[in-house]
Structure 1
């Protein structure tokens, strides 16, 4: 498999970064929902530190994905895709990138204004604070982090539903070209709009 993207499909690096992001974001979502129910204990601090470290990892991964996409390009829309669908997909991707940056940044900001103990990325090194502690900003930033997360989850659901719609009903290569070990779409999966 090619490492770099081609006009027809995503390369191995893009696929790896995409699916790693999916796993981390879903894991962070579950961890975030569980940790707010935990009683204050040594485990509570450990879970919070893990959540923060994983969130910073998602932020770094998002920057890497964006840099790789700028370098490797992106496949063209599947032939036969209506222009409005291609534009909707582009807008959705842009919003996903924006939110994948905004959610961890808002979490980092919340950690900063909360004035909690120093944040250490997986215990390896200290992460600087983005702002001074602030009782006034703390609930606003916390709510922003939570709302941004739910908007991200909703958009991910729309993105996944569109991919499955293309795979199951349009029978095109939209989903398959982001899966490892898959070649180009076979003629049987060519959209009806292409067969003339």
Structure 2
């Protein structure tokens, strides 16, 4: 079995994963609601709060990662798979920043400020722009679709390593409550 991630790394991984899935699901639900209802507006707020939280946690995760190296892949893992895994992880990191940022700028271009948790207004970095709004909406949508696909590949690869290769890769990110870190 490969060396394991620390509990802090696992916590970042699983909390961000849960928030990303929640934000994505809420995004699909809220955009399917016709009109501009109180429920839809509430879902938009929650969606933005999830996105800001993902962005904040992503910053903390990257800072953590700068000082804590990931465990090595199993020696039995082919070099091309190690390269593919590294590339996919890099793409996931880029997307957990790009998706919330694109949503933030889309909101600003729409003329709607982002007020985190209904309390903290984020800086307005761009003015409302009706020409930029549809561009940013499209960018946000397609970055989300790319993230969804990348997460799907990530999960499929983890399951392949667990059930076909049986090399312990998935277990590196699953908590074992008998150890501490």
**Same-fold call, TM > 0.5?**
yes
Cα deviation for residue 182 of structure 1 reads 6.8
Q: Quick one: which of 74, 79, 89 aligns to 1:78? A: 74
> For residue 29 of structure 2, what is the aligned residue in structure 1?
34
> Where do 4+ consecutive residues of structure 1 move more than 4 Å?
none
Q: Distance in 2 between matches of 1:86 and 1:176?
A: 17
TM-score where L is the length of structure 1? 0.87
| Cα pair 1:177 1:183 within 8 Å, conserved | no
Q: Could you tell me which runs of 5 or more consecutive residues in structure 2 were left unpaired when the two chains were aligned.
A: none
> For residue 159 of structure 2, what is the aligned residue in structure 1?
164
Q: Could you tell me which runs of 5 or more consecutive residues in structure 1 were left unpaired when the two chains were aligned.
A: 1-6, 185-196
Is structure 2 residue 114 aligned with structure 1 residue 106?
no
> For residue 193 of structure 1, what is the aligned residue in structure 2?
none
Number of matched pairs: 177
* More contact order relative to length (CA 8 Å, sep ≥ 6): 2
Spell out, residue by residue over 1:2-51, the C-alpha distance to the aligned partner (whole angstroms, 9 max, x if none): xxxxx811010000000001110111111000001223122221111110
Q: Distance in 1 between matches of 2:131 and 2:123?
A: 21
TM-score where L is the length of structure 2? 0.94
> For residue 134 of structure 2, what is the aligned residue in structure 1?
139
Q: Distance in 2 between matches of 1:81 and 1:183?
A: 27
Instruction: Please say which structure displays the higher CA radius of gyration.
Output: 1
Cα deviation for residue 129 of structure 1 reads 1.8
